[in-house]
Structure 1
Amino acid sequence: MLKIGSHVSFSGQGLLTAATEANSYGSSSFMIYTGAPQNTRRKPMDTMFLEEGNALMKEIGIDEIVVHAPYIINLGSYKENTYELAVTFLQEEIRRTQAAGVNNIVLHPGAYTDMDADYGIDRIAQGLNEVLGGTNETEVKIALETMAGKGTEMGRSFEEMARIIDKVKYNERLAICLDTCHVHDAGYDIVENLDGVLDEFHRLIGLDRLTVVHLNDSKNPRGAAKDRHTPLGTGWIGYEAIQKVVHHERLQGRPFILETPWIGKDAKTQRPMYEIEIALLRGNVEERFGSEFLSQVKELGAFFEGQNISGRSFVLDTWNLLKSDAKAKKADPREPMERLYDLVAGAGLLPDVSEEGINQRIVAWLAGQGK
């Protein structure tokens, strides 16, 4: 079975809350933070409903999930207090991951800030040696996440990842998390040359180290080094390319985790597109949403055709407009999904469907379901 899910909340009743939310999206895997990703405050794991959460996971058929390390960890820092916090806090996060029965904790490798890339590679490797050497009672692997190259962050190329791995004594416990938005923004052509990208990854690192895949479309063209996610099919990567990643024979058996942003006109009522994204990638949209849903997607397709709107070209033309035309950006900074939603709402189509529901149908149309 395809292991696919999203980032979900670990607050409230901990693992039980997370599994319940994941089930609502039709997930067969999911990713959690064991506490807020921006700080070090943590509740004891024995208060996180682990037994109840695992029981629900077994009931709904989820056998593998992922933990993501907090963003505040920076093993690449030259500042001793920042570095020491990163080492000790990551060790504790690994023990919490082990307590939750999870095998992989995803980690942003770190940033070299005021130093240089060679320093960053050496410093991160030093930190990983300390972290792994101090947690040898666990079997948890650190899955270093491929990064977009924003600022001074490391892991922006497969070569950098390989250099870090080669310097780590305990590298049998190092893995890789491949993020589609990040590798695209770092310059890898996963749209036209996915096989070539995987070949290069295997040559430099080895596909056996690839244990987690993050699924995100990108708001920016390839090589932009920006790291800005967007729902599947609404960015420069496109739904077709993401689908090829998920179903590629060399990537099977790994958890695929959506980190696409929540959307909506009002920030207070924004909703994720996880449920429709998962159903599209799994190929069970009608089973999940019903035949009327697909009929309404076709209705939207006919409407957009009448407006001379072609989904893929509309998406890319909109991003190009926002990127290149400062006046247009200032006057009308709406992204493709918002523009499409406004057209549908303005025409009075699907009046009994919620904003979330209309957005789900637009995502489905962009994925080719309305043809």
Structure 2
Amino acid sequence: MLNIGCHLSVSKGFEAMGKEALKINANTFQFFTRNPRGSKAKAIDPKDAEGLLEIVKKNQFATLLAHAPYTLNPCSAEEKTREFAAQVMADDLARMEYLPNNLYNFHPGSHVGQGVDVGIELITSLLNMLLKPEQTTTVLLETMAGKGTEVGRTFEELKRILDGITLSEKVGICLDTCHVYDGGYDLVNDLEGVFEKFDQVIGLDKLRAIHLNDDMNPMSSHKDRHAKIGEGSLGLEAITRIINHPKLRHLPFFLETPNDLAGYAKEIALLRGVYKE
């Protein structure tokens, strides 16, 4: 079965997201832990979380993915900015235990002129401070498009972060198809080569989720502009190969395309139609 979902709004509550997912024939979904452009988080109602867990169990959902807000920069040159990232992520990981054994994704951040080495050191230090042996959540580093001074634009940079983590079993990678194509990895003409490279550098066992997006720009553009499935430079054929790839097809796929709920429903139906059961 194709494990596919989209981004849903947590403002309506956990159980409501589960019901919305069912309406569009999704069997997983992604949500922001709080305002994606701010710091406020809605108080969690334990009964609401239990309601979602019942939906997940009854309908055999794949792993869910929570996304940290965009405002975080764990490798900022400003100490206050790094402290803010640490506080939010610590709170998010505590809140995630209401939905145990799921995934939490974040953007590694931008080193803002300090250099990649400093950026990587700051990110690994933060994760080593935050990760706890008892947590059930796996924290994922997202592959980045390479805008400005973003860290995580190459598999090698992500590997260096992972290598610095003490509790290595608590971390993994979320690969964004638009981002890696923007970053120069040719998913259209060399899909096998890209994932062989990923396996050699990082290891496919660390790939835990895929953001499935088409791309408004050509390969290596470093611009990060998501397109609807089949309407960008990646195209439906390449995306079909990705979801059917024998080493990827078991993963949860999360749409972050420019869509409303009806649009996501159409994309999910499209992708289920080209998925080979």
The TM-score normalised by the length of structure 2 is 0.94
Q: Which of 112, 123, 139 is 1:142 aligned to?
A: 139
Kept in 2: contact 1:19–1:57 (CA 8 A): yes
Amino acid at match of 2:102: N
Q: How does 1:1-371 map to 2 (within 5 A)?
A: 1-12=1-12, 14-46=13-45, 49-132=48-131, 135-262=132-259, 273-283=263-273
**1:49 partner SS:** helix
- Once the two structures are superposed, residues 183-233 of structure 1 have per-residue CA deviations (whole angstroms, 9 ceiling, x without a partner) of 000000001111100000000000000000000000000000000001001
What's the % identity of the aligned pairs?
A: 41
- Structure of greater Rg: 1
**1:70 partner SS:** coil
Tell me how far 1:34 sits from its aligned partner. Answer: 2.3
Tell me how far 1:24 sits from its aligned partner. Answer: 1.7
**2:11 partner SS:** coil
Tell me how far 1:60 sits from its aligned partner. Answer: 3.3
Kept in 2: contact 1:125–1:168 (CA 8 A): yes
Distance 1:25 1:243, change over 3 A: same
Q: Distance in 2 between matches of 1:254 and 1:208?
A: 11
Q: Distance in 2 between matches of 1:16 and 1:36?
A: 18
**2:160 partner SS:** helix
> Whose helix fraction is larger, Structure 1's or Structure 2's?
1
Tell me how far 1:47 sits from its aligned partner. Answer: 5.5
Q: Distance in 2 between matches of 1:107 and 1:34?
A: 11
The TM-score normalised by the length of structure 1 is 0.71
Kept in 2: contact 1:260–1:272 (CA 8 A): no
Kept in 2: contact 1:260–1:273 (CA 8 A): no
Distance 1:232 1:83, change over 3 A: same
**1:256 partner SS:** strand
Amino acid at match of 2:264: Y
Q: Distance in 2 between matches of 1:32 and 1:3?
A: 16
Q: Distance in 2 between matches of 1:16 and 1:46?
A: 10
User: How many residue pairs are counted as aligned between the two chains?
Assistant: 275
Distance 1:44 1:136, change over 3 A: farther
Kept in 2: contact 1:9–1:21 (CA 8 A): no
Tell me how far 1:48 sits from its aligned partner. Answer: 6.9
**1:67 partner SS:** strand
Amino acid at match of 2:41: R
Tell me how far 1:44 sits from its aligned partner. Answer: 2.2
Distance 1:162 1:148, change over 3 A: same
Distance 1:45 1:245, change over 3 A: same
Extract unaligned runs of 5+ from structure 1: 263-269, 286-371
**1:43 partner SS:** coil
Q: Distance in 2 between matches of 1:195 and 1:117?
A: 28
RCO higher in structure (CA 8 A, sep ≥6)? 2
Q: Distance in 2 between matches of 1:110 and 1:48?
A: 34
Tell me how far 1:271 sits from its aligned partner. Answer: 5.8
Distance 1:83 1:41, change over 3 A: same
Amino acid at match of 2:4: I
